[in-house]
Amino acid sequence: MGDYIVLAISCIFVNNILLGQFLGNCPFLGTSKKMETAVGMAMAVVFVLVMAGVITWILNTYFLVPFGIEYLRTIGFILVIAALVQFVEMFLKKSIPALYAGLGIFLPLITTNCAVMGVCLINVNEEYTFIQALVTSFSYAVGFGLALILFAGVRERILLARVPKPLQDTSIGLVTAGMLALVFYAFKGMV
Amino acid sequence: MVEAILFMLGLGAASGAILSAASKVFYVYEDPRIAEVENCLAGANCGGCGYAGCSAAAVAVVAGEAPPSVCIVAGAESAANVAAVMGMEAGAAEPLRSYNLCRGGERADDKYQYMGINSCRALSMLYGGKRECEIGCLGMGDCVKACQFDAIALGEDGFPVIDELKCVGCGACAEACPKNILEVKKMSDKLLHFNQQDDRIAPCTQTCPAQIDIPKYIEQIRKGDYEGAVNTIRERNPLLLACGRVCPHPCEDYCRRGIEDEAVSINQLKRFVADYEMNSGKRLPISCAPDTGKKVAIVGAGPAGLSCAFFLRRLGHSVTIFEMMPKLGGMIRYGIPEYRLPKEVLQWEIDGILKLGVDAHTNVKLGRDFELGSLVAAGYDAVFMGIGAWKDYDLGVEGENLNGCYTGINFLTRFAKKQQGDAPLEEAIPIGDKCVVIGGGNTAIDCVRTLVRLGAKEVSIVYRRTRNEMPANMVEIEAAEHEGIKFHFLAAPTKVIGDENGHVKQLEYLKMELGEPDASGRRRPVPIAGSETLMDIDMLITAIGQGPDTAFVKDGKRLDDLKITKWSTIDALNPETLQTNIPYVFAAGDAYTGASLVVEAIGGGRRAARSIHLYLTGQEVTAPPKSLYKEHIPESIFESVEGITPKARTPMPELPVEERIQSFVESDLVITEEDAIYEANRCLNCCRTCYDKDVA
Ligand SMILES: Cc1cc2nc3c(=O)[nH]c(=O)nc-3n(C[C@H](O)[C@H](O)[C@H](O)COP(=O)(O)OP(=O)(O)OC[C@H]3O[C@@H](n4cnc5c(N)ncnc54)[C@H](O)[C@@H]3O)c2cc1C
Ligand code: SF4
């Protein structure tokens, strides 16, 4: 159990997918202007990442490795994740309309999110067990959400601050992201 | 290699199969129109419409919860496309626009140097935001930064200025402003705002029956923004050319400069910009909200009817005017003579209102050619009664119907019709040599000045009270004096004596003296017994007042229970809603107030337009909240004003007397641009500037 907690902490804080590994930068910059969208996006990512982590782990362990075709990993994962997102969208629309109403516009955006892909690949590279893969996927997603929401809060305030012309908008966003990353660096020694 | 191909094919086939199975299993019926509607929207997923993205908005449109114009980014074309998909007409929803509501404020307690971060929010959190006033703008431009559409900039004075064309009404600025100065409003909220007890409004604006923002337009004139000034006036008063000429300007009586100096010549400034627009050769554009599909009938096209039509049309309702005379304008066309308000000028102004898409039928009279029932049958949702006061009061003395005796309104309208060529077959009224007009109001003065121009040798006014009590406009009385009219004050006619042919020969009157003040505050004239005097005359006009002609009530169906007061005016349930006891009938102007002023009728027309708008949009028809109606904010009325250096008021330029009594050309002229700017600089800009006299 202790191991899983350490794993989770390491995924959420130390190796934060956004600020430690710099994956998933497009939604990080794109959906962080408003707190509401950031929260919606974070939820959608948690949802999809866990599913994707699980499915890709199964795909890898039971198909790719036994047949010795690990080199098809990337393209296979892409296909599976894309199909999965579509599937989930349809499923939600029919079965849990309330959840669909909340996540609806964000789901398709995640189809091509490299954070999702990245986590799936990490799971495989690190040769995690199923449970470990589940925990990492979930924790990375929580880390993603945490960073995104923090960042959105900061950006909402920056919107009102005096920013020199050349630095406005995305530039100051990237500078801020850099600083946030430095802050997260402080977790480095923890685990 | 083979495994790889097989694997990819298998994976693809499996995904495809699962997805297609899922699309059957999890099939949710979705209205095909949703996708079509979504295609018409902007696709920006901005959420400005209040829904979570475009698809959610499309769902709402199809569900009938959102109007076709829901998308704030895509504009009118998209609305029309959506409406086409939905098989309905675009419209209904009015676009929101952001407005800077700051009009300056009160004197602040402290003035300080602020050195912190440049954000209104920070500033207001640290200091509560007193820059130089309590409510005013902090000027750090949070709104400018919040606007995604580049529609706000800080203007020269450091206040936000909104570019209405770029503004989509998303409300980001209003959210960012910590002082609630910016507000997104619909056009109707702006056009139908009435003075409120907590508004910061100058004494003149508080007094104006049409509630024009006077210091604002004066400031625009000072800065040379004449078009802006026209727009400011037109927001409240669509008849600025007419008012600029004939308004007795009650506002000037309350002008703060008038406490220590002569009042600002507000009305001449209005006339200056109104003439500026007319002479510029082009009309300023006037925006109208999208059509609502509601129909309103306006009965009577006087100032009240025209004003009501103007505001209702701008709110998107379709408006039709029904007028009994051959041309529109009411008393300001058929009562007020050409030399005061040239018909050409009036026509230009009325054309501007008709150009907005207002229909007008003339030569149709309520009670003769149509009645309320026919309007209801024709599908009108509401009816406005602006029938004015066209029935002369009788003098009630013996002999007043002899040949050569006329009544005021009758005389003026017959003459005006003849002069405009409305009634070429009707015989002209023969003008006598020694003419007497009885009465002291505008009608009486207009009669005598018209008679002078028609060549009467001797024209006099007989009035019961004295010059001070005359209700006519002061400038009119003075002009009449200059034109050689004789005034017999304190004289009450008792008998009209005719010759053997039944033509008027003499007027007998009693001399009066002033007694105790009556209900209106004027001293009541009491007759001096035995003072009967005879006066030789050969033409007599009685102009002692007029009331509405409400004869149609008795013989009309549906209207017979319309409440009429004992002064034969139409009664309204509440003076601020102007709704009558028949819920879809509204009344204003002289028909409601009794003979009054043009501005009063214009203000009433707008007030009625507000109630009609509420009625048509299914809201409760109530008086505006916290309204400041016919009263002043006590604190804003000063006893004295410090630091005023007297500066002479610009005199009104007029034609020389000898020239003007020869013809009907306009006798009062417009002031020059230089004088207008000088006069505008005399305005103290009350209740607009934030100033701290100890610091500055
Ligand atoms: C001679 C004179 C001089 C004036 N001078 C001034 C002045 O200098 N300054 C000032 O501020 N005010 C002045 N007034 C007052 C001013 O003209 C009126 O207060 C103002 O015109 C009232 O507007 P209204 O729309 O209520 O009515 P009106 O202007 O009287 O218009 C009513 C309209 O309804 C029509 N109508 C009436 N009955 C029917 C019916 N049954 N069916 C269809 N249509 C009908 C009439 O033809 C008319 O067009 C003057 C008035 C007169 C008579
Ligand atoms: S000084 Fe100007 S703002 Fe003040 S009351 Fe007179 S006209 Fe109105």
What confidence tens digit (pLDDT) does each residue in B642-683 have? Answer: 878 889 999 888 888 888 888 888 888 899 999 999 999 999
Which three-class secondary structure state does DSSP give residue B135?
coil
Least confident of A147-161, B51-65, B365-379: B51-65
* Residue B52 confidence (pLDDT): 63
> Is B446 touching ligand 1 by the criterion CB < 6 Å?
yes
Question: B43-82 burial string, b = 16+ CB within 10 Å, else e?
Answer: eebbbbbebbbbbbbbbbbbeeebbbbbbbbbeeebbbbb
Distances (CA, A) of B690 to B113, B137, B141, B629: 16, 10, 18, 26
Of B102-111, B452-461, B643-652, minimum mean pLDDT range: B102-111
Label residue B46 by pLDDT band (50, 70, 90).
low
Residue labelled with tokens 């009435």: B194
Residue B286 and residue B370 in contact, taking contact as beta carbons nearer than 8 Å: no
- Residue B55 pLDDT: 76
Residue B131, phi then psi, degrees to nearest 5: -85, -75
B521: which 2 tokens? 């505050």
A30 vs B contacts (CB less than 8 Å): none
pLDDT, residue B603, reads 95
pLDDT score of B385 more than 70:
yes
Q: In terms of DSSP bridges, do strands B486-488 and B458-462 run parallel, antiparallel, or are they unpaired?
A: parallel
Q: What is the CATH number of domain B96-185?
A: 3.30.70.20
Mean pLDDT across the stretch B387-392? 92
pLDDT at B47: 59
Instruction: Round the average pLDDT of chain B to a whole number and report it.
Output: 84
**In this predicted structure, what is the pLDDT of residue B694?**
43
pLDDT reported for residue B45: 62
Arithmetic mean of pLDDT, B43-50: 64
- Specify whether the backbone of B587 is left (phi greater than 0), alpha (psi in -120 to 50) or beta: beta
With tokens 């499915």, the residue in question is A55
Using alpha carbons only, give the angle B563, B568, B569 rounded to the nearest 5 degrees.
70
Q: Which long-range contacts link B24-30 to residues 24+ away (Cβ below 8 Å)?
A: B25/A94, B26/A90, B26/A91, B26/A93, B26/A94, B26/A95, B27/A94, B28/A93, B28/A94
The answer to whether A88 and A54 have CB atoms below 8 angstroms apart is no
Question: Helix or strand or coil: residue B351?
Answer: helix
Residue B303's nearest CA partner among B387, B195, B206, B220 is B387
Size of interface A-B (CB pairs under 8 A): 74
Average pLDDT (B195-199) is: 82
Would you state the pLDDT for residue B130? 46
Q: Is B35 on the interface with A (CB under 8 A)?
A: no
More confident residue, B91 or A166: A166
Count of CA atoms in the C-beta half-sphere (13 A) of A27: 31
Residues 6+ positions from B197 with CB-CB distance below 8 Å: B626, B627, B628, B633
B:406-435 residues touching chain A, CB 8 A cutoff: none
| Dihedral (CA of A67, A68, A71, A77) sign | positive
Q: Which two tokens stand for residue A69?
A: 């075709």
Which residue did the predictor score with more confidence, A120 or B518?
A120
Tell me how far apart the alpha carbons of residues B454 and B462 are, in angstroms, rounded to a whole number: 19
Which two three-digit tokens encode residue A159? 């919107």
Above 50 in pLDDT, residue B56? yes
Q: Which atom of ligand 2 is nearest to the CA of B682?
A: 1
Residues with CB under 6 A from ligand 2: B 202-204, 214-215, 218, 255-257, 264, 266, 683-686
Average pLDDT over residues B318-337: 93
Q: Residue B195 has what DSSP assignment?
A: -
Same fold, B96-185 and B295-390+578-616: no
Lowest-pLDDT range of B22-31, B80-89, B357-366 = B80-89
Residue B545: CB within 6 Å of ligand 1?
no
Q: Given a cut of 80, is residue B520 above it in pLDDT? A: no
pLDDT given for residue B87 in this prediction: 65
Of B27, B120, B146, Cβ closest to residue A159: B146
Q: Predicted confidence band at B65 (pLDDT cuts at 50, 70, 90)?
A: confident
Q: What confidence score (pLDDT) does residue B91 get?
A: 41
Q: DSSP letter string over B211-239?
A: ---HHHHHHHHHTT-HHHHHHHHHTT-S-
Q: B370 alpha carbon to ligand 1 midpoint, in Å? A: 21
* Cβ <8 Å between B28 and A93: yes
Q: What does the pLDDT look like over B295-304, one tens digit per residue?
A: 999 999 999 9
The whole-angstrom distance between A190's CA and the closest CA on chain B is: 36
Q: What pLDDT shows up at residue B450?
A: 93
Sign of the CA dihedral running A93, A96, A101, A106: negative
Specify the DSSP class assigned to residue B651. P
Q: How far apart are the C-alpha atoms of A85 and B32, rounded to whole Å? A: 23
Written as six digits, the tokens of B379 are 């599908």
Mean pLDDT of B106-127: 58
How far, rounded to the nearest angstrom, does the alpha carbon of residue B268 sit from its chain's CA centroid?
A: 18
Retrieve residue B213's tokens. 């923002």
Candidates B8, B11, B147, B177: best to mutate against A (most CBs of A within 10 A) is B11
| Identity of the residue in A75, A91, A161 whose CB atom sits nearest the CB atom of B119 | A161
| Cβ count near B457 (within 10 Å) | 11
From residue B141, how far is each of A171, B88, B110, B129 by CA, in Å? 21, 41, 22, 13
Q: Where are the beta strands (DSSP E) in B404-503?
A: 405-407, 434-438, 458-462, 486-488, 491-498
Atom of ligand 2 nearest to the CA of B687: 3
Ranges B1-15, B141-155, B474-488: which has the least confidence: B141-155
pLDDT value for B662:
83
- Paired strand residues for B511: B491
Please give the share of chain B, as a percent, with pLDDT higher than 70. 89
- The length of chain B, given as a count of residues: 696
CA A35/CA A155 separation, integer angstroms: 9
Question: What class does CATH assign to B31-93?
Answer: mainly alpha
Question: For all residues of chain A together, what is the average pLDDT?
Answer: 84
Query: Which chain A residues touch B176 with a CB distance below 8 Å?
Result: 160
Of the candidates A67, A83, A94, which has its C-beta nearest B7's C-beta?
A: A67
Structure confidence by residue, pLDDT tens digits, B134-166: 446 777 778 888 877 788 888 776 678 887 767
The values of phi and psi at residue A18, to 5°, are -85, -50
Amino acid in position A38: A
Closest CA to B161 of B228, B226, B238, B234: B228
Write the CATH number of the domain with boundaries B295-390+578-616.
3.50.50.60
Our answer on whether the CB atom of B412 is closer than 6 Å to any ligand 1 atom is yes
pLDDT-derived band at B236 (thresholds 50, 70, 90) equals very high
Check CB contact under 8 Å for B15 and A104: no
- Ligand minimally distant from the alpha carbon of residue B588: 1
Asked if the model's pLDDT at residue B530 lies above 90, the reply is no
Lowest mean pLDDT, pick from B223-227, B240-244, B601-605, B633-637: B633-637
**Ligand 2: which residue has its CA nearest to atom 8?**
B204
Closest CA to B298 of B287, B312, B286: B312
Among the partner-chain residues B22, B119, B122, the one whose CB lies closest to the CB of A87 is: B22
Q: Is the CB of B252 under 6 A from ligand 1?
A: no
Which of B194, B199, B188, B179 lies closest to B96 in space, CA to CA? B188
β-pair partners for B407: B542
Class of the B395-547 domain? alpha beta
The pLDDT of residue B77 is 74
Cβ distance of A162 and B121 shorter than 8 Å: no
Please tell me the predicted confidence (pLDDT) of residue B524: 83
Q: What is the pLDDT of residue B382?
A: 94
- Whole-angstrom distance, CA of residue B538 vs CA of residue B402: 11
Q: For residue B171, how many other CB atoms are within 10 A of its CB?
A: 17
Q: Which residue has the higher pLDDT, B636 or B304?
A: B304
Indicate the Cα dihedral angle B564, B567, B573, B574, nearest 10°: 160
Ligand nearest to the CA of B104: 2
- Please give the residue that has the higher pLDDT: either B206 or A94: B206
Show me where the domains of chain B are located. Answer: 1-28, 31-93, 96-185, 295-390+578-616, 395-547
Mean pLDDT of A73-97: 84
How far is residue B232 from each of residues B211, B218, B229, B601, B683, measured CA to CA in Å?
A: 11, 10, 5, 19, 16
Closest residue (by CA) to atom 8 of ligand 1?
Answer: B246
